[in-house]
Structure formats: C-alpha cells, structure tokens
Chains A and B, each alone.
Chain A
C-alpha cells in the first residue's frame, strides 16, 4: 500500500522560512506525481495552495512556493505570518484517477 509521508508537525517563527516535505514510502516523488498542496484551518474546508508541483492557485500569495527537493515534494513558506498557522496536506496522483493524501503537517507559527 502506498503511503504518502509528511512531517506531523513543524514550527516557524514569524517572518521565518519553513519547508514542509511530502515523500513516498516506496518511490521518489517526481513531477509525474503532480504534487499538490492544501491548507486547512480548524473547522474550515481545505484551500488549494499549489498544484502540479509548483503552480500557485489563484489568489495564493507568492510567499508560498512548491518544488521537488531531492526525492520529495516540498512546500516552502517564506516570511511566515500568524495566519499561516494551519494544517498542510500534500496529495500525490497515483494514476487512473486515484489520489493519495499525506497525513498532514500541523504548522505552528510562534
């Protein structure tokens, strides 16, 4: 069974930079997996941040960026703000319409 891995938690100082990663238990993540990233605050629906590895969704500030770092997908937040404190989920496309979510990273800004 394919497992998509994310750091369970991360913290960053206001104004700082943080990189969250998204890996695969059995393979290296490449652009072929179409990594996408979503932000979710408690009680709210997810918000799409990044798709197709590094394309920002409409209205997403440019301090959010996506990339491939080594064998993982990565979401970098530059100049973290208090309202970036959220859960972040990556999704990898496995083919045939099937998407697998990572377990999410809880980001604390303090």
Chain B
C-alpha cells in the first residue's frame, strides 16, 4: 500500500542504549522530515532531507543522527538514549516544497 510507515510503533529502552527509528515512504517524495512531539512544545523539527544523501539539522538535532542512502528511507538513530528523549517521534514526507506533508503514525519511545 502506498503511504508512509514508521516502525516500531512503540519502543521501550534504557538510557545509554542506541535505538533506531525507521521511516519508509512509497511515493518517492524528495523531502523527508523527523519531528518530536511533546506536551507543551508542539512539534519540533529534528532533522530534514531534500534528497538522498542530503540532510540538515533542524531545531533540536543534538543526540540524534540520520541517514538517507535511499530516497524512500529516512532512519533516525539515538546514539546514546537519554530520558529527555522520551517522546513521540513523527516522520513526514513531501513531494514538492509547496505541497503538504504526509505524516506517519509515529513511534512512541520511552527511555527508562
């Protein structure tokens, strides 16, 4: 099915562990984004990408790493998880810069 999918939907891990959140879209959209959503903060942009092999830092990139070797995939890695990274993470894609973003259903990440 066409769309944007995130995996896993739920994840519990411990501080100091590395964890990777996956994002896959089937539209071949050029633009992809990672956000975190926290109560009181709305959506905050972590990283974004305009094409394969092109990534840029957003508002809150510290502690996160991304890669984009293929257009359809945009994984987000927490290299050494901290409790402050407990959040709901959303991936989004857009075909053109004036087009709306399409969001995945999120990954709820808890770091103990």
Binding between chains A and B: no
